[in-house]
Amino acid sequence: MILWALLLACQDGAQVFLSEEEAVKIVFRHGEKVVRRELLLPVEVHAAVEDRLKRRVENRYRSFVEIRNGEATGVALITDEVTKTLTMTFIVGVDLQGRVIDVAVLEHREKIGADSAKRKFLDQLLGKTLRDPIRRKKDMLHVVGATMSCDAVMRGTRKVLAVVQEYFLDRPENLHAIVQEADPVVQQRYGMGSLCTITAYGPKAAVEQALDDVRRWDGILSNYLEESELSQLNRERSLHPSTDLTAFLRDCRKYSDLSDGAFDVTVAPLVDLWGFRNRKYRVPSSAEIEATLRKIGRDHVVFENGSVRLIDGTTLDPGAIGKGFAVDRAVEILKKAGVNSAFVDFGSSVFGLGTPPGEEGWRVAIRDPFQKERVLGSLRLKDASVSTSGNYEKFFEVDGRKYGHILDPRTGIPVEGVASVSVLASTATASDAFSTAIFVGGLDLARRAGVEALWIPADPNAEPRMTDGWVPE
């Protein structure tokens, strides 16, 4: 029953009766589980629906499938229909025999006509099928003073019945796929020296395709695989790059510019000099560092006439951005496959797409760099990424002094005084690149870049610093 005492009247005359969650609970009172999906009708299904109804209708809907004992028992769609000049939003539930389970109004935007949301009118729709007229003066009694709104509900109910029939009942494989995807698919693949894990509420094939693409990017960007395109560029100094490598290099230049060189993909000669690439660690002389710095800088990567050249002996190391870049490409693949709830975990870079069912976001724990088993706090990710850069795993010591693997491309020496930096951003590429850049350039860079960050000093007794928008649970 709609609780009229809870009705909210907006300034423009709109009346909000129910939230999405409340509406779904009205339609599906006894379901063990309700799976939400953004439904985009295929062209042939959309055409079939319009042919049934003899009118134009939209091809996108919020859909909900009720599951009991591992089987689908009903489908509901939230839809909009024009009343007089504005629209109203309502939900229609349909069982697997094509009969209306229930109808409830979420929002009515006209100043008049809201009586169409009363049970006296809506209860007439229970049990209706596509074989029924569902029309005023045919098999429905409208509410006086709400004629246009009642007509909108009747039109919308027939529309939902048609969509459910064409997409779910006539094509049961679509319903079966949603039932199979009610529990998340979890798949893993190794690449870029780390394990990439994807947890997704969606087709297994989409997850596998995304992981295949992560491995493909490893084959493009690895500076350890001799056959990779980036290794070829490092060897030959010049080539006509693929569109993939070009996009990557353009992003590298972008984040180098945004960080005033604190992030720089041309840091590879310094990584080699300090022995971090082959683990033959050494502390180079000042003269060696000065000579190597002449090979460093974003202007050493030159695009001209469709080719890319590396000048002055520079080489590229994708380590500070490659994982984030690959994560974003994987997320793009998942989105194109219709997945709107997934978590991509590539070790130091993660991305939360949408939210897991019933949650506000994907929970990500931030590890204490001094005690691996201790968690400093956690964040909830929704369409956002977190990446962490730290010196607590890759370092060497000489004469009691610790040298970490994160090098300042402007000075040529390892950054000191920082244990780890975590960055929250809208893309994994940004969070990955800026976690290194802020490690090198300081927390003020986060504010200039418009990202949120947690900066933890190397002294375990010192207080961490964070931007105003970094709000852990």
What is the reported pLDDT for 330? 98
Tens-place pLDDT, residues 201-232: 888 899 999 999 999 999 999 999 999 999 99
In the chain, the amino acid numbered 327 is V
Question: What value does the mean pLDDT of the chain take?
Answer: 93
Q: What is the pTM of this model?
A: 0.70
Q: Sheet holding 418-425: strands in order across?
A: 185-191, 194-200, 342-346, 349-353, 384-390, 418-425, 452-457, 465-466
Q: What are the residue ranges in the chain where pLDDT is below 50? A: 1-11
d(CA 272, CA 93): 63
d(CA 304, CA 246): 12
Tens-place pLDDT, residues 150-207: 999 999 999 999 999 999 999 999 998 888 777 888 999 999 999 999 999 888 899 9
What is the reported pLDDT for 13? 61
What is the reported pLDDT for 70? 77
Strands 100-108, 87-95: pairing kind: antiparallel
Q: Are 92 and 156 in contact (CB under 8 A)?
A: yes
Displacement of CA 252 from its chain's centroid (Å): 21
d(CA 396, CA 286): 18
For 443-452, the CB contacts below 8 A with 24+ separation are: 443/467, 445/259, 445/260, 445/262, 449/258, 449/259, 451/423, 451/424, 451/425, 452/423, 452/424, 452/425
Q: Are 124 and 153 in contact (CB under 8 A)?
A: no
Helix, coil or strand: residue 284:
coil
